[in-house]
Every structure is written in structure tokens, then in C-alpha cells.
Amino acid sequence: MSKENPIFALLRNEKAHPCNSGNETTPLNIFNYSGIGALIPKGNGPNEFNIQSQFSSSELRTMCSATAYALIATEMALEDAKWKPTDEIDKQDTGVAVGVGMIDLVDVCTTYEALKKGYNKVNPYFIPRILPNMAAGQISIKYGFRGPNHSVSTACATGAHAIGDAFRFIRGGQTSVMVCGGAEACISPLAIAAFCRLRALSTSRNDCPEEASRPFDRERDGFVMGEGTAILVLEELTHALSRNAKIYAEMLGYGLSGDAVHLTAPSEDGTGAILAMDRAVKDAGIDASEITFISAHATSTPLGDAIELKAIESFMGQHSENVTVSSTKGAHGHLLGAAGNLEAAFTVLAIKHGVIPPTLNLQNLDTETCLNFAPNAKKDWKPVSRRVALKNAFGFGGTNACLCVADYKE
């Protein structure tokens, strides 16, 4: 069983919200439906991000914002991992698995308007900009990584699937190091309107956006769309030890499943989530009783959160009373294709530091359950033996992923 070294990098804004991913839950005055988005603050001020300062105008012409975010986070992750190989063999032994959940609809709309003015007005890089695999491609090109060059686009499970696939590439002996994760930057009037038409977004707290995303809470009414990225570096254990790499946690297992029920709604009995968790635990070769923390997908939708809790309790059975469930989406919103990897990074940090992150805005749980929670405050994590966690991620089309991660023991 190979063991990995997840290293993460986030675009941060510490002032925006405690425990957040760099996003600021902000009223969007240009929209009159949901009106809320968890945006990376743009500008030149403190805790603001200026993308133009990171790339030349010619570089920005070739990439969408999600790709730019992924490139910046990758640089941070590789610096932290101290892995920027110059040797050709090492470059061939390093791969990339980074996905994007949704293409930039602003790019599509803008290009369509440009086409009305004439063929020559269309950006020749329009197609590369909107292809979901271009974040992985740009990273591979920048650093000369010639290992697996992989991209997955499975809606809101994208980031978790990317990490799981990277894990399998290493375990299968195809490479020793993988740069992996997901990126998303698709907040636009069209995207907001479309999700509102699905009745997926929160609309009841437009005047107090910091309270809108409230996983598991009785008054939840939908998710808050976010943007950003998180990049992890996974590494085969012998390889990591040989170069004295900093090891945050150990990747144990990966499970996938399909609901096979509905385009946007999960199966009511939670079968898909149960199968993904069960397969991750079996892949890890552990007993479910060893799990004491589950980082939930919980997006703050009435149906989805309730079904996930039902699935977790069904899967954990009599061990449910020993499990704490948390969703960090109350702090940073729902990053769609970058949700699973961002929350996997939080899970890794929880393992490393023995602290379970809080579920913000959880005031009144609307489900009777034996499971434990961390409402509005972090919780010390002191299991009997080692810290073992599951990270769930689910997406439209009934696609499910689950990662099993634990603290590293020599």
C-alpha cells in the first residue's frame, strides 16, 4: 500500500471569515436572484488578489481564471513540498491531475458577443481557455512534468476524484509524485441564474450573506457558490522518506459510486454515498470503527444534507456515536469542482493538528442522530489510537467520491 504526502496551497483572505479558503461571502449587486457569491477579493489592497500582477497579458489571454488560480496554488504547494525537480528522470516521475467542474460561462458569453462583431474578434485561445483539462496541461507545461497528465470533470466531485485518481496512479506504480486537485471560477449572472432556476442556491439571506451557507441547519435553503482552488502534492512513501519530505498525512483509500437515480438529486436512501464510503474503507484495508471524523460534502441544501447524514449513520452503525461530522462550507461556500480538494486539505490539516474544523451557522440541527458535530467552534480531536477521516464529495449526475486519510505513523 503506497502512502502519500498531501501538501496544500490556498488563496487566503484571513479577514473575510474565520477558517475560510480565501473567499469573501459578498452581496453581488449585479444579480437580482440569489445575490450572494463567495468570491476571492480582487484588488491591490491587503488580503486582495490581483491576477494581473501574477501573469503577463499574453499569458492571461491563454487561460481562464480557474487555470490561473491553479497555477498560483501549484507554485505554493511545490514550494511547501520542496519539489521542483530539474532532473529529467524526476520530471518524468511527476504527474498532474487537476480538474475543473464548470467552464467559464462569462468567457463563452463574451466570445459569442465578439463573434457578432466579426470572426477576427474571437480569441484564438478561446477553446484552450474553456477546456476542463487545461489547468492540468498548463501546470505540466510550466514545470515540465511528464508523468500522467490527467483531468477529471465530475461536477462537485471533481477535486476529490482528482486526488483519488492521483492516489491510484502512484499506487499502481505509474509515477512517484502527483500534483492534484481542482479549480473553479465560474460565478457569473448566467451561472447564478441557472442554479437559481434549479432552486439550488440560498436566497433567504441576501442581506446577511455571511449567514447564508448553513450546512445541517434547520433554516438552510441552498448553497452559496464559491470560487478558488487547493492543490495537494501526493508522494509515494519511500520516495518521500528518501528526500526527507514533510509528511502531513497518509492517504489510505479511495471509493467511487453512482446513484443511478436522478440528474441533480441524490438517492433518498443514501445508497450512493454509502457505497462510496464503504469502498473507500475497504480499499484502505481498515475497519469502519477506526473512523472518528467525516468531512461531509454537505452543501447547505435541505435534501442533500439530510440524506448525507442518513447515509453516514447507516454506514457507521453502532459506531456513529464516536464520529464527528463537519462541513466547512459554512465558511467558504461551495466551490463546486474545487470543493472536494479544498475540503480534503482542511481534512489533512485536521489530522495533522488534531483539530476538527467547525460547521459555521449551525444553530439548530433538524435531524435526530447519534452523530456528533462541531457547531460554530473547532473541536479537539483525540481518538483512542490514530486519527482516521473520510472526505465525501458528490456531484450532479449521481457521481460520488470518498477519500480515506489518516495521520502518518512511522
Grid coordinates given for 2: 503506497
Alpha-carbon span 136 to 120, nearest angstrom: 28
Q: Is 44 helix (H, G, I), strand (E, B) or coil?
A: coil
Task: Write down the catalytic residue from 297, 332, 402, 404.
Answer: 297
Q: Give SS3 for 283.
A: helix
Give which of 123, 104, 106, 105 is closest to 115, Cα–Cα: 123
In the set 64, 334, 402, 404, the catalytic residue is 334
User: Which is catalytic among the residues 64, 156, 180, 404?
Assistant: 156
What H or E segment, with its residue span, contains residue 110?
A: helix 105-117
Residue in 340, 403, 353 with CA at minimum distance from that of residue 381: 353
Distance CA 66, CA 52 (A): 14
Question: Are the C-beta atoms of 65 and 52 separated by less than 8 Å?
Answer: no
Q: Is 297 a catalytic site residue? A: yes
**Phi and psi at residue 382, to the nearest 5°:** -130, 80
Q: Residue 237: which H helix or E strand, with range?
A: helix 237-242
156 is catalytic: yes
Strands (E), 227-301: 228-235, 250-258, 293-295
Q: Containing H/E element for 350?
A: helix 339-353
Instruction: Please name which of 66, 76, 54 lies closest in space to residue 9, comparing C-alpha atoms.
Output: 76
Active site residue 262: no
Q: Give DSSP secondary structure letters for 173-227.
A: TS-SEEEEEEEE---SHHHHHHHHHTT-B--TTTTSGGGT--TTBTT---B-BB-
Positive/negative CA dihedral, 122, 124, 125, 128 = positive
* Cell digits of residue 383: 481518538
Catalytic machinery residues: 156, 297, 334
